[in-house]
Amino acid sequence: MLANNHSVVFYDLELLKKPGLAWSPNTCKTRFALNLKKIPYETKWVNFDDIKTVIPAITKSDKRPLVPVIVHDDEPVVDSWHIAQYLEEKFPNNPSLFHGNVATHRFFQNYSEKHIIPAVFRLVLLDIHQSTGDQALQDWFRQDRESWMRGKTLEQFAGDASDNIAKLKSGIAIVSAHLKEFPFVTGEQPGWADVALLSHLAFLAALKPEIFKDHVLCDENMRAYWNRTEYIRSGVASPNL
Amino acid sequence: MLANNHSVVFYDLELLKKPGLAWSPNTCKTRFALNLKKIPYETKWVNFDDIKTVIPAITKSDKRPLVPVIVHDDEPVVDSWHIAQYLEEKFPNNPSLFHGNVATHRFFQNYSEKHIIPAVFRLVLLDIHQSTGDQALQDWFRQDRESWMRGKTLEQFAGDASDNIAKLKSGIAIVSAHLKEFPFVTGEQPGWADVALLSHLAFLAALKPEIFKDHVLCDENMRAYWNRTEYIRSGVASPNL
């Protein structure tokens, strides 16, 4: 389906050396939310270089350019959390993200951001760096990110893989127990809590598939959940994908 | 109000040396759920000694006697989680515990049980022991609990208070951030997630009030929340309390 003024255009972040791979946990949240709500959309890929010009032209903002951004009815909406609330409001007849319980979904996202994604981020950081693009783009990424890392190099920040894997497994333990009891984090129907978790797992699955397989999918509850949610991740149920 | 066949009788666990103190996190979950739902009830206190005879006579079960138990319409209902679901079903016109999202509330409970209550339990364990009753009852409590503690004494299991306080504060950090954003864990209206959290905090507040004040109430989000939820803990809004 071609985009028109009423359809959603979704800006996702591309690694130039891995074209078409949905890897960023922030943009995956928006992608999976659109899929869960069965909202048609057109993906426009921006890489770490052209994000600096493409996104400010859309948002008309001089803040640091970030994705996800969606454009709907000619208006840009920025930030995965704001986009989720926008989609819930604008598409009330589509499947719900929050099921009327925004706060408990948000708590789950906060849990996952504290107890799951930091370990994933350290596990994949060097792969992101190496996949950004040419040497100039890799150098920019290193300089940009190391300025946030309190004097640590990317390698020092990434740390020891086995430590990160242990932390990841510890964070997943109560999620696995939950998914033994309920088909989705949200319960009988998936929702935003699932979108958040899946986006964090997809981050690892995209960039470290062996670690994902050996330390997440090895858990039978997580594997069954991953299979059960394939339609949310791939959007196969979405009419225009 | 006197109990009749249609009212709820609620069995709570009493420390003989602290009569009338609501301290057990398991029974507090039921007490606070009844208060939140504004369901009239009559409390019957059982101590560690008479629980062994009183509860089996009600439940007609030879399983280890546990509280909470409620009796409603002449039928016993056992276990705080089952009681919550029973109350939600039987009192659908009263304020809701789950707001249609059982699973996300359950996840929050599981979070609190993993990241908050273990530290609280270690902080209060010796106080429970000393408050159970006479020497014979204290000896029974020690023997009973130490048989679960893999060869550790109560004192060894309780461990170092400062370690426990650090773990408690770590577990509370994302809850405090959440309560800066939302008035209740559940959002605009309180629910089961709040009942679980409040029961875990009440456990500490009842038995170690100074630690509770210095390390939980010192956080302004937690203090505002504690004040905001006084009616859920005390049941002042409940018609027969």
**Cβ neighbours of residue B164 closer than 8 Å, sequence gap 6 or more:** B119, B120, B122, B123, B158
pLDDT in the model for residue A97: 98
Query: Is there a contact between B123 and B204 (Cβ–Cβ < 8 Å)?
Result: yes
Pairwise CB contact (< 8 Å): A99 & B103? no
Instruction: Calculate what percentage of chain B has a pLDDT beyond 90.
Output: 93
What CATH class has B102-234? mainly alpha
B191 Cα to chain A: minimum distance (Å): 10
Residue A58: its H or E element: helix A51-59
Instruction: Flag if A177 and B102 touch (Cβ within 8 Å).
Output: no
Torsion of CA B191, B195, B197, B201, to 10 degrees: 150
The domain limits of chain A are: 9-90, 102-234
Alpha-carbon gap, residue B204 to A96, rounded angstroms: 38
β-sheet bridge partners, residue A44: A11
3 state SS of A16: coil
Residues A158-179 pLDDT 10s: 999 999 999 999 999 999 999 9
Kindly give, in sequence order, each residue whose CB lies less than 8 Å from that of residue A22, ignoring residues fewer than 6 positions away: A12, A28, A31, A202, A206
pLDDT for residue B236: 59
For CA atoms B87, B91, B92, B98, the dihedral sign is negative
How would you write B40-73 as a 3-class SS string? CEEEEEEECCCHHHHHHHHHCCCCCCCCCEEEEC
CA dist B121 and B80 (Å) reads: 18
Listing DSSP states for A123-192 in one string gives HHHHHHHHHSSSHHHHHHHHHHHHTTTTT--HHHHH--HHHHHHHHHHHHHHHHHHHHH-SBTTBSS--H
Angle between helices B117-131 and B135-146 (to 10 degrees): 150
Chain B positions in Cβ-Cβ contact with residue A193 (cut-off 8 Å): 104, 107
Q: Which residue of B has its CA nearest to A181?
A: B103
Find how far residue A54's CA is from the centre of its chain.
20
Cβ contact A99–B101 (<8 Å): yes
Residues on A contacting B at a C-beta cutoff of 8 Å: 99-108, 110-111, 114, 174, 177-178, 181-182, 184-188, 191, 193
d(CA B166, CA B190): 27
Average pLDDT over all residues of chain A: 94
Of B162 and A6, the structure prediction assigns the larger pLDDT to B162
Residue A150 pLDDT: 87
Best B96, B97, B98, B101 member to test A by mutation, with max A CBs in 10 Å, is: B101
Res A4: pLDDT: 54
Q: Is the pLDDT of residue B55 over 90?
A: yes
B190: DSSP letter:
-
Give the separation between CA B114 and CA A169, rounded to whole angstroms: 14
CA A94, distance to chain mean position in Å, is: 21
Distance CA B75, CA B86 (A): 11
Partner-chain contact B99 A100, CB within 8 Å: yes
Residue B239's pLDDT is 37
Instruction: Look at the domain A9-90 and name its fold.
Output: Glutaredoxin (3.40.30)
Confirm whether B9-90 and B102-234 share one CATH topology: no
Q: What's the CA gap between A188 and A192, in Å, rounded?
A: 13
pLDDT band at A237 (very low <50, low <70, confident <90, very high): very low
The answer to whether B99 and B135 are in contact (CB under 8 A) is no
pLDDT at A204 over 90: yes
Q: What is the ipTM of this complex?
A: 0.89
Residue A182 with chain B: CB contacts under 8 Å: 103, 106
Mean pLDDT value across residues B31-47: 96
